[in-house]
Amino acid sequence: MSVIMTLRVKGDPDKLERLAHENPDAISGISQRAQQHGVIAHRFYGSDGWIMVVDEWPDAESFQRFFEQERGNIEPMMQQVASGEPEIQFWHKLDTHDEIGWD
């Protein structure tokens, strides 16, 4: 069963969007390499002073292998927009029989 990976860090969501628009090749390159490592889904989200990444991966190890290989590309970008240390968590789906969407 797949896992959800969340990465949450204090930062500037607007600055991240600007960076993504100014450097689309860098962002899409990371995304393409994530797909090669098995990412199922990926999104960035922003809130007042926070940035969050939500990914779905086949397993935590697939994300960890990707992140280690891409650290040199990801960290410089995040240093431009983040003001704290990221918190990474892995989540598994609970069987609660009340699912809506994501079929």
Q: How confident is the model over 36-65, as pLDDT tens digits?
A: 999 999 999 999 999 999 999 999 999 999
The arithmetic mean of pLDDT across residues 94-101, rounded, is 91
- Predicted confidence (pLDDT) at residue 103 exceeds the cutoff of 80: no
Kindly report whether the global pTM for this prediction surpasses the value 0.75.
yes
* The token pair that represents 38 in the structure block: 């098995």
- Predicted confidence (pLDDT) at residue 10 exceeds the cutoff of 70: yes
The H or E element spanning position 94 is: none
The arithmetic mean of pLDDT across residues 22-35, rounded, is 94
Percent of the chain with pLDDT over 90: 95
Domain boundaries, the chain: 3-91
Average pLDDT for the chain:
95
Phi, psi for residue 16 in degrees, rounded to 5: -65, -45
CA dihedral 62, 66, 69, 72 (to 10 degrees): -150
Pick the CATH number of 3-91 from 3.30.70.100, 3.40.50.300, 3.20.20.70, 3.30.499.10: 3.30.70.100
Nearest partner of 5 among 62, 68, 47, judged by Cα:
62
Q: Compute the distance between CA of residue 86 and CA of residue 92 in angstroms, rounded to an integer.
A: 20
Name the band, by pLDDT with cuts 50, 70 and 90, for residue 102.
confident
DSSP code for 76 = H
* The token pair that represents 36 in the structure block: 């090669």
